[in-house]
Amino acid sequence: MAIEQHNKPGYTDQSLIRNFCIIAHIDHGKSTVADRILQLSGIVPEREMRDRFLDRMDIEQERGITIKSQAVRVPWTFDGTEYTLGMIDTPGHVDFTYEVSRALAACEGAVLLVDATQGIEAQTLSNLYMAIDHDLTIIPVLNKIDLPSAEPDKHAEEIAGLIGCNPSDVLRVSGKTGEGVADLLDQIVMDVPAPNGDPDAPARALIFDSVYDSYRGIVTYIRMEDGELHSREKVHMMGIGMTHEPIEIGVISPDMTPTKALGAGEVGYIITGAKDVSQSKVGDTLTSAVRPASEPLPGYRDPKPMVYSGLFPVDNAQFPELREALDKLKLNDAALVYTPETSVALGFGFRCGFLGLLHMEIVSERLSREFGLDLIQTAPNVTYEVTSEDGSVHHVTNPSEFPDGKIKKIVEPMVAADIILPKEFIGAVMDLCQEHRGQMGTMEYISTERVEMHYRMPLAEIVFDFFDQLKSRTKGYASLDYHEDGEQSADLVKVDILIQGEKVDAFSAIVHRDKAYSYGVMMTKKLRELIPRQQFEIPIQAAIGSRIIARETIRALRKDVLAKCYGGDITRKRKLLEKQKAGKKRMKMLGHVEVPQEAFIAALSTDEPTDRDTKDKIRAAQKKEG
């Protein structure tokens, strides 16, 4: 049995409430520390801890949704008084800056959790700055002190230098052994300010997360600012202007527990029965429909996609399923936008907008894993502002929208990139950034070993392959964070790929003129390897406008037959033919040419041109141009 909690939801004085989040880089041990907190608080008895932990993982896998501890209500007794801690999860990802900012807005304090073997990473830093911007009280903590490779003194210096505290103020814990976690909870009670809402004002609650649960519908996580919300009291979403009848309100401690009310300062959830994707947006303000607040909480905005890509079902009959799956994902993910798109090569699909490349990867992986969809994804594209010679301006999120004819000007979005890395990789990272059209800004040593470099780069360069290359060139030690930083005009061209003389829209890309040749050569070579030989010769060309810049040829197939087919071979042969028939369905017909799905997937992968033949061809193409 879990312990009895004294403070009841809806009847807990704000002075006893502490709301905090944990800011940590991926793998720095946030969930282990969070689990340890649940255990120490007594809401998860020790002997159930392991089982419970595993259970949760199972359910996550089974249902395919993340039943995160988005907002757990944790009791903690300090100096004989029971306090109620609201532990709020923050999305740990670079692309989800806005979501992070909403989670931070729901707290008064932040635990800055840093791996004592690794030190500060770029992502921790950007979230830390954001927490400081939100005036949160920062409690610095080094985790994993039980590890032999931990260097707590060194990293405590690093942290102290960053937030301006004493190195001795940095707590030291081990999520694994539990050492120091009780002290951390005491520190939270002491340092984090209590919420300071007006309990008598009309209710206002901030939506900081919204999760689709296949059994319960949309579960909306809220932080009460002012007033009270009662079960069965109609609620109104101020940003989108909709009213709902709540089915349930409650707190999570550690399971979903319905309550009669939620009071000022408390963190909980509300289930409204809303099924439509647009009815519960992160950042929106929830109020009582009967006694509505006049002003919403600040900071609501519609997230703005930075990167676009086309998603097409391999089997076009799956188009309705794709739409449904996107609708469901959007419940959790207000940043995902999509509009139907038709491609000559790929049929019906959606043009999707994402916050960044990793957001895009997460979405496409969930679509295939959780919804069983077989998808082809086109190369990512940022938004270009293209001005034709006649003065007309086009917003190009898709190479197919790139205007024909003479171009006067192209403007592309820029980002400010912050990279933290060990100093021995400075040279390698400078090379990489230069290859990606980066302009170097300042560079600071954050310790004797590590530096933070600042670059201004085109977003298009980052979304393509930058992150993977950064990781590989620094043996995984560098971390990256970026945010929007205006725009610049650039010499960009559209490269088309032609198979048997037919332009394949899915392979077109907008690239810098200097990179057009390497893109053309690499794509044509890749396709030559990926498209199986067929009964006729297939020319594969890359072109800028009508000018061919690269060409490969797939020779005609001369033989596909198996030499022998006697009595014992017939079943196997028939099954093989049936399998080929099924495989053919997964092929896309481009004119007469059968193109396997892998070819489209490979369009996304961006290996460096390493082999000599490719390099020679790129050089030759450039020379011809020069």
Binding segment (CB under 8 A) for other proteins, from list 188-196, 236-244, 299-307, 559-567: 559-567
Residues in Cβ contact with 348 at an 8 Å cutoff, skipping those fewer than 6 apart: 312, 313, 316, 319, 340, 341, 342
- Whole-number CA gyration radius for the chain: 28
Contact 307, 360 (CB under 8 A): yes
Cβ of residue 577: shortest distance to other proteins, in angstroms?
Answer: 6
Among 290, 565, 589, 601, binds other proteins (CB under 8 A): 565
Q: Does 1 bind other proteins (CB under 8 A)?
A: no
User: Judged by CB under 8 A, which of 561, 582, 585, 624 binds other proteins?
Assistant: 561
Q: Which of 316, 580, 586, 589 binds other proteins (CB under 8 A)?
A: 580
x/- contact string, 512-551, with other proteins (CB under 8 A)?
Answer: -----------------------x----------------
Residue carrying structure tokens 């048997």: 500
Interface residue with other proteins, options 190, 577, 601, 620 (CB under 8 A) = 577
CB-nearer residue toward other proteins: 164 or 568: 568
Residue number with CB closer to other proteins (7 or 534): 534
Distance separating alpha carbons of residues 257 and 197, to the nearest angstrom: 24
Both tokens of 406, joined, read 């003479």
| C-alpha closest to that of 154 among 170, 173, 138, 139 | 170
In the list 395, 581, 612, 624, the residue contacting other proteins (rule: CB under 8 A) is: 581
What minimum distance in Å lies between the beta carbon of 588 and other proteins?
A: 17
Which string of x and - marks every residue 116-145 that binds other proteins (by CB under 8 A)?
A: ------------------------------
Tokens linked to 488: 């610049």
567 lies in the site for other proteins, by CB under 8 A: yes
Give least dist CB 307 to other proteins, A.
40
Total residues binding other proteins (CB under 8 A): 23
φ and ψ of 292, to 5 deg: -75, 150
Is 553 an interacting residue with respect to other proteins (CB under 8 A)? no
Among 584, 601, 620, 625, binds other proteins (CB under 8 A): 584
Structure tokens at 87: 């532990």
Dihedrals phi, psi of 437, to nearest 5 degrees: 60, 35
Nearest to 151 by CA among 179, 118, 184: 118
Both tokens of 495, joined, read 């490269």
Q: Please list the residues that pair with 224 across neighbouring strands.
A: 205
Binding map of other proteins across residues 367-406, x = CB under 8 A, - = no contact: ----------------------------------------
- Is residue 601 a contact residue for other proteins (CB under 8 A)? no
Report the nearest approach of other proteins to the CB of residue 425 (Å): 36
Which residues are bridge partners to 413 per DSSP? Answer: 487
- Rounded to a whole number of angstroms, the minimum distance from the CB of residue 563 to other proteins is 4
**Residue 178 vs 596, nearer CB to other proteins:** 596
For residue 578, state whether it binds other proteins (rule: CB under 8 A). yes
Nearer to other proteins, 434 or 535 (CB): 535
Contacting residue, 4, 568, 623, 624, with other proteins by CB under 8 A: 568
CA distance 547 to 273: 57
Of 208, 189, 206, the closest CA to residue 197 belongs to 206
**Among 50-58, 288-296, 459-467, 574-582, the segment contacting other proteins (CB under 8 A):** 574-582
Which is nearer to other proteins, 558 or 612 (by Cβ)? Answer: 558
232, 475, 573, 586: residue in contact with other proteins (rule CB under 8 A): 573
If one asks whether residue 574 binds other proteins (CB under 8 A), the answer comes out as yes
The residue (of 295 and 537) whose beta carbon lies closer to other proteins is 537
CB-side exposure of 190: number of CA atoms within 13 Å?
9
Nearer to other proteins, 403 or 596 (CB): 596
Q: Return the number of other C-beta atoms located less than 10 Å from residue 3's C-beta.
A: 13
Question: Dihedral of the CA atoms 496, 501, 503, 504 (nearest 10)?
Answer: -100
Contact criterion met (CB below 8 Å) for 542 and 519 = yes
Stretch that binds other proteins, among 451-459, 467-475, 501-509, 570-578 (CB under 8 A): 570-578
The two beta strands, 593-596 and 261-262, are: unpaired
> How near is the Cβ of 454 to other proteins at its closest, in Å?
48
Nearer to other proteins, 1 or 561 (CB): 561
Q: Tell me which of 149, 168, 214, 571 binds other proteins, using CB under 8 A.
A: 571
Q: How many residues does the chain have?
A: 626
Is-contact 84 18, C-beta < 8 A?
yes
Report the residue from 566, 582, 585, 626 that binds other proteins according to the rule CB under 8 A: 566
Phi first, then psi: give them for residue 339, nearest 5 degrees: -135, 145
Q: Annotate 86-152 with three-state secondary structure.
A: EEECCCCCHHHHHHHHHHHHCCCEEEEEEECCCCCCHHHHHHHHHHHHCCCEEEEEEECCCCCCCCH
Candidate ranges 171-179, 485-493, 523-531, 573-581; the one touching other proteins (CB under 8 A): 573-581
Q: What is d(CA 365, CA 579) in angstroms, rounded to the nearest whole number?
A: 26
| Residue of 30, 134, 34, 135 lying closest to 92 (CA atoms) | 30
- The C-alpha atoms of residue 101 and residue 278 are separated, in whole angstroms, by 20
Q: How far apart are CA 95 and CA 275, in angstroms?
A: 26
Sole residue written with tokens 């070579």: 525
Strand duo 547-554 + 538-544: pairing: antiparallel
Asked if residues 525 and 614 have their Cβ atoms less than 8 Å apart, the reply is: yes
Residue 536 C-beta: closest distance to other proteins, Å: 9
Q: Does 616 bind other proteins (CB under 8 A)?
A: no
For other proteins, the closer of residues 483 and 579 by Cβ is: 579
Of the candidate spans 271-279, 354-362, 376-384, 576-584, the one that interacts with other proteins by CB under 8 A turns out to be: 576-584
Of 2 and 587, the one with the shorter C-beta distance to other proteins is 587
440 binds other proteins (CB under 8 A): no
User: Binding of other proteins at residue 585 (CB under 8 A)?
Assistant: no
Stretch that binds other proteins, among 79-87, 110-118, 542-550, 565-573 (CB under 8 A): 565-573
Residue numbers at the binding site for other proteins (CB under 8 A): 535, 555, 557-568, 570-571, 573-574, 577-578, 580-581, 584
